[in-house]
A and B are shown apart, each in its own frame.
Chain A
Amino acid sequence: MSAQAWLDVLIAVIGGAVRVGTPFLFVSLGECLTEKAGRINLGLEGVLVLSAMSGFGAAWLSDSVWIGVLCAGLAGAALALVHGVACSLPRVNDVAVGIGIMLLGTGLAFHLGKPLMEPQAPQIPSLALGGWSNSAAVQAALRINVLFPLGVALAALLQWGFANTRWGLLVRMVGDSADAARALGTSVNGVRIAATVAGGFIAGLGGASLSLYYPGSWNEGLSSGQGLIAVALVIFARWSPLRCLAAALLFGGAGAIGPALQSVGVGGAYYLFNALPYALTLLILVLSCSPTRSARGAPLELGVSR
């Protein structure tokens, strides 16, 4: 392979980091918010698939991409509400309910999404940031989903909000010590349900980015575990929204390696390249976890940081 081909791959991977990383960003921000309140929602995988389907369906029916994005968020919030309420019952395990939500969300999405395989829906517009360059590859790489800047702003807002607002402190208090929250007269379950629902809405925007921007259509293999990778990313990002942004870009880049290599003619191990993000997630979990101490920055009420 020539130097130019390698350069093209590199540019495609950088562009792909943003394109593929946007859903990771939204889901990990949603999970970050949920986990800060002391619950883990593995069901965000189901939320991602269901919201991708709902967003695509709504955009197709209404012919307006923004109604689609809104519906994706609302569908995600509705499914997350089921998780939040079910986990508020006594002696109900949040990890197990998450598996149930994963099954339910994908089942509902596959069932209701059957008629949506064929049609074309309006797409989320993109920002052309590569206008300064003459190279078509650079221009293609820098054409950015408008949801991405929104996600970056949201990450910054969450980072600031957790430290400086009444709401942020409330969420963190509930996540770090339910007893302290109760002593102050805060409804622990209320805050957790609110955080889970808000997290579901944010993750739903990631679903919209999947079905309405890249790959930009609805099919049953659309997500295949991206929601779950995003959940693992939060551990890697040590529960910091800005580090979630960095991790999402890293994983977006890893996910873009397979298609980028294929586009320059290296297609020998197609499936293995596509499995790269899963392997990378596992590697990062191995490196960032420890059996003897809970992870730094982990909300203390969280079961997963045992």
Chain B
Amino acid sequence: MAGSRNWQPTAEAFALPLLSLAGALVLFGIFVALGGRDPVAVWRLLFVGAFGDAFSWQNTLQRSAPLMLTALCVALPARAGLVIIGGEGALVLGGLAMAGLPYLFTPPAGWIGTLLLLAGAAAAGACWIALAGWLRVWRGVNETISSLLLAYIAIAVFKQLVEGPLRDPASLNKPSTLPLAESLRIGSIGSYDVHWGLVWGICLCVAAAFWLGFSVHGFATRVAGGNPRAARLMGLPTGRLVVTACALGGACAGLAGGIEVAAVHTNANAALIAGFGYTGILVSFVARHQPLAVIPVAILFGGFGAAGSLLQRRLGLPDAAVQVLLGFAFVLILASESLRGRLFTLPAPLRRRTSIAAVAGAR
């Protein structure tokens, strides 16, 4: 009996997020219909804008690259038992490090210099998120609140430096840093309009999956996250594992910022603060904090982001329309957790009630 039900958890892992997303699309349709727009046209544009042709695919993949990395910033600490939502701060600091380090020293031209700067970006992000993890371990400070506070502080530091000491005098009404040297930038893959950041994102998701699934350190981290008491009884250094997972996640988000600067913006300016850190939270929750599942989910949500600008141009919807869709999706995804393990047995209480009634009737 139990053996025949083994397919159910797997089927639920796919069905629950898909049902929630469908529900979010329906709610979003009702929402835009209340605003006097045709929901069918909105759904169609969402799909066309995300996956309709080669151009929208390129736009989608371009946006999904940083989402994969910021989602890892949520997923890796989550596997160690922490809910970190300050990925935006790590991303912004990573971008700042990428654009700011060349002020301090002249990096060697070519890919060695790029790698050096990316390492700096990753280190900046790692320190920031590790700080939230360390405060949790050291003082028991709630990491969800502290990481978001740290994100606001990081954004303030970013704006202060970009509009102050690091400002390029030539950038008049859009304060930004000096542009990155041509040889240090990250180019696109072949003739496609998609930069190499996508490859970084996919590779790091795969690497994270291997680390969690096949390494002793990753296993210990999962034990520390799943049952801290058991982990301590086994003598695992839970504090160090937690801070390390946070640092790894932060490094990914910092890298996302560095790649955005080197591949898209070419300098650090306020356009970098585009909410990738917040969408990454949603991506990670939909992927249930599984690094491999992050890849397709990030592409899906990158698609929604890409479609957002089309909705804005064609139907005159505000740019926050996609945020509403994401909000609906997030709440439904979390609520769907209550159906886990019961999706295929929902009619069971009804069956039981009828059989009890039958017994009572026979008596």
Q: Which residues of A contact B (CB under 8 A)?
A: 42, 82, 86, 89-93, 95-97, 99-101, 103-108, 110-111, 114, 224-225, 228-229, 231-232, 235, 269-272, 274-275, 278-279, 281-282, 285-286, 289-292, 304, 306
Contact = CB atoms under 8 A, between A and B. Distances in A.
Contacts of A272: 156-157, 160
B224 to A, nearest CB: 15
Interface of B: 83, 85, 135, 137-142, 144-146, 148-150, 152-153, 156-157, 159-160, 163, 278, 281-282, 285, 317-321, 323-328, 330-331, 333-335, 337-338, 340
Contacts of A225: 148-149, 152
Contacts of B135: 282, 285-286
B275 to A, nearest CB: 10
Contacts of A232: 142, 145, 149
Contacts of B330: 99-100, 103-104
B334 A93 contact: yes
Contacts of B159: 271
Nearest to A110: B320
Given A91-B340, A111-B324, A290 B331 contact: no
A101 B333 CA distance: 12
A32 B282 CA distance: 27
Nearest to A97: B334
A281 B149 contact: yes
A86 B146 contact: no
Given A92-B334, A101-B331, A108-B324, A270 B282 contact: no
Contacts of A99: 83, 85, 144, 281, 330
Contact of A82 (B285, B323, B331, B333): B331
Contact of A107 (B139, B142, B324): B324
Nearest to B150: A282
A57 to B, nearest CB: 14
A270 B322 CA distance: 32
B69 to A, nearest CB: 19
Contacts of B337: 89, 91-93
B141 A286 contact: yes
B148 A228 contact: yes
B334 A271 contact: no
Given A97-B331, A275-B153, A111 B321 contact: yes
Given A228-B148, A286-B141, A100 B334 contact: yes
Do most interface residues of chain B lie in helix, strand or loop, or is the interface mixed?
helix
A106 B148 CA distance: 15
A282 B146 contact: yes
Contacts of B153: 275, 278-279, 282
Given A92-B338, A224-B152, A272-B156, 12 more contacts: A100-B334, A104-B324, A106-B320, A107-B326, A108-B327, A225-B152, A231-B145, A278-B149, A282-B135, A289-B139, A291-B140, A304-B142
Contact of A114 (B318, B328, B334): B318
Given A42-B144, A91-B340, A96 B149 contact: no
Contact of B83 (A95, A231, A275): A95
A107 B157 contact: no
Contact of A89 (B145, B321, B335): B335
B338 A89 contact: yes
Given A104-B330, A232-B149, A271 B160 contact: yes
A290 to B, nearest CB: 6
Contact of A104 (B160, B281, B327): B327
Given A89-B338, A104-B331, A285 B146 contact: yes
Nearest to A93: B334
Contacts of B319: 110
A246 B233 CA distance: 42
Given A90-B338, A92-B334, A278 B140 contact: no
A107 B149 contact: no
A289 B156 contact: no
B295 to A, nearest CB: 22
A269 B148 CA distance: 21
B142 A86 contact: no
Contacts of B325: 107
Contact of B163 (A229, A235, A271, A274): A271
3 closest A-B pairs (Cβ-Cβ)?
A104-B327, A107-B323, A110-B320
B267 to A, nearest CB: 18
B104 to A, nearest CB: 20
Contact of B335 (A86, A107, A269): A86
20 contacts: A82-B331, A86-B334, A86-B335, A89-B338, A91-B338, A92-B335, A97-B331, A97-B334, A101-B327, A104-B328, A105-B327, A235-B142, A271-B157, A275-B152, A275-B156, A278-B150, A279-B149, A285-B142, A285-B145, A286-B139
Contact of B140 (A82, A279, A289): A289
B167 to A, nearest CB: 13
B112 to A, nearest CB: 34
Residue of B83, B157, B320 contacting most chain A CB atoms (<10 Å): B320
Nearest to A284: B141
A96 B83 contact: yes
Contacts of B318: 110-111, 114
B140 A103 contact: no
A60 to B, nearest CB: 17
Given A107-B320, A111-B321, A96 B160 contact: no
B288 to A, nearest CB: 12
Contacts of A42: 144-145
Contacts of A282: 135, 141, 146, 149-150, 153
